[in-house]
Amino acid sequence: MRYVIAGSGPAGISAAEEIRKTDPDGQIFMVTADPHPAYSPVMLTYWISGHIPEERLFFRAMESWAGNHGVELCCGSKVEAVDTQRQAVRLSQDKEIAYDRLLIATGAVPLIPPIPGIRAKGICAFRTFGDAQGILTFRPDLEQVCIMGGGFIGIKLACHLKERGLSVLVVEKEPRLASRIFDEQASEIVKEQLRGHGIQVETGTGIVEVFNQEGWLSGVRLEDDRTFPVQILVAAVGVRPNTSFIEPPIAAAGAGIPVNEKMESAVPHVYAAGDVAITMDSLTSSTFSNAVWPAATRQGKVAGANMAGRRRSYLHNFNLNALNLYGLQVASAGHSLKPKGDDIRIYQEERGSRYRKAVFKSGALIGFILIGDTSCAGPLLARMKRGDVIDDPETLFTPTGKTPWGLPPDTGYRHGALWP
């Protein structure tokens, strides 16, 4: 059996390890364009802040790992085409590898909005180890950084760059930070936390022009005509699946690859996992790309097991994010905004910078936001996975005889409320 894995991130590596558990003799070829395979994007902000050394970025020592798992590693090679009729992939060096089972785990590529002046030097994404290196090496006199995009990555990067002593500006076009997962209350709490630590945050306005001097970025202009001096601009506005080499019927070029619960695509013997895969949300049955590290790892394991002949399914698929903002714990999962439907109920509790929100559909928990105290995230996730019907929402947070914050009722606690 010949297995070809395109991609060396968590999905591809997890798949190879799972394959080898079942098939000790099959050939495994791992193709990656990345010169730094098996690094953790999750840890890049910690490295850029100086919290961890470079070696801790890599979650596998690839040379020894490849030898121990019998993987033929092809670094610096890009898959340029997939021939599903002949079951072969064409690589950038005009090479070809035949496969019996193919996993596409090529991740995603960052979006760079077509803003006037966006081609100036000093503008970068934040997706790879090379991107992180570029931020620190573009300008030896670096003092001013602008992050375009206030999602989880942008927020986290802003904190860690500020820790390096840099002046940091975050510009989010949407009215809220992390607008796909934060409501107004959550966004305001996080915004005040960032501002309280010296990070300038602008929401509800976008960057409409980039200035440069002699080809180098010098500043930005916002929709409200305010201008800010900037030396480095980090585009963190989103990603798209890295599938430019894919053609139907696997998927449309540049679009995600729809897969079933076994991570199988529409084409026999072709699988997808990680940021390229379009999977079904287990809470709502809608489809989406669950582009987070834990999901990529679990998808890779399921794909690898099924490629090697076992029968496994990918379960409990929904958004999950967590981060620490200068000691303020934040967690969000599932559908934490207000989905449409007459059977939707929302329960909210707020006390200063501490906030809890739970969203229910037909009585079952389908999403939550926790800010300040995330200790109940584990039990909430367990109940979401089981699909428990919650008769009394306060029981999700309230120890017997206490308010949901564990405080006496006379300490300024604002009681939770349940709204249709």
Look up the CATH number of the domain holding residue 218: 3.50.50.60
* % residues pLDDT > 70 (the chain): 95
Same domain flag for 228 and 244: no
Query: Does 266 have pLDDT greater than 70?
Result: yes
Domain boundary among 205, 235, 265: 235
- DSSP for 247-275 reads -TTT--TTS-EE--TT-B-SSTTEEE-GG
Query: How many other C-beta atoms can be found within 10 angstroms of the C-beta atom of residue 71?
Result: 23
Beta strands in 214-363 (DSSP E): 216-222, 227-229, 232-235, 239-241, 257-258, 270-272, 277-280, 287-288, 320-325, 328-334, 344-351, 354-361
Domain with residue 340: its CATH number is: 3.30.390
Q: Could you give the number of structural domains in the chain?
A: 3
- Contact, 25 vs 6, CB < 8 A? no
Give the confidence band of 420 by pLDDT, cuts at 50, 70, 90: very low
Q: How far is CA 240 from CA 79, 126, 187, in A?
A: 17, 14, 24
Distance CA 120, CA 143 (A): 18
Q: Examine residue 256 and state whether it is found in any structural domain, yes or no.
A: yes
Cα separation, 342 vs 249, in Å, equals 37
Q: In terms of DSSP bridges, do strands 71-75 and 27-32 run parallel, antiparallel, or are they unpaired? A: parallel
In a domain, 117, yes or no: no
Domain that residue 172 falls in = 123-235
For range 152-179, the mean pLDDT: 95
Least confident of 161-175, 205-219, 333-347, 349-363: 333-347
Please report the pLDDT score of residue 398 as a whole number: 58
Is the separation of the CB atoms in 137 and 129 below 8 Å? no
Angle at 28 between CA 290 and CA 83, to 5 degrees: 70
Query: Do 105 and 128 belong to one domain?
Result: no
Q: Which two tokens stand for residue 56?
A: 């801790």
- pLDDT at residue 415, as a whole number: 34
pTM value > 0.85 = yes
Asked, for residue 319, whether it belongs to a domain, the answer is no
Task: Encode pLDDT of 282-317 as tens digits.
Answer: 988 889 999 888 999 999 999 999 999 999 999 989
**What pLDDT is stored for residue 151 in this prediction?**
94
What's the average model confidence in pLDDT over 128-143? 89
How large is the average pLDDT for residues 345-365? Answer: 92
| Mean pLDDT of all residues in 263-272 | 98
Q: Is residue 313 part of a domain?
A: no
If asked whether residues 103 and 140 sit together in one domain, one would say no
Mean pLDDT over the full length of the chain: 90
CA–CA dist 112, 125 (Å, integer): 8
What CA–CA distance (Å, rounded) separates 384 from 359?
A: 11
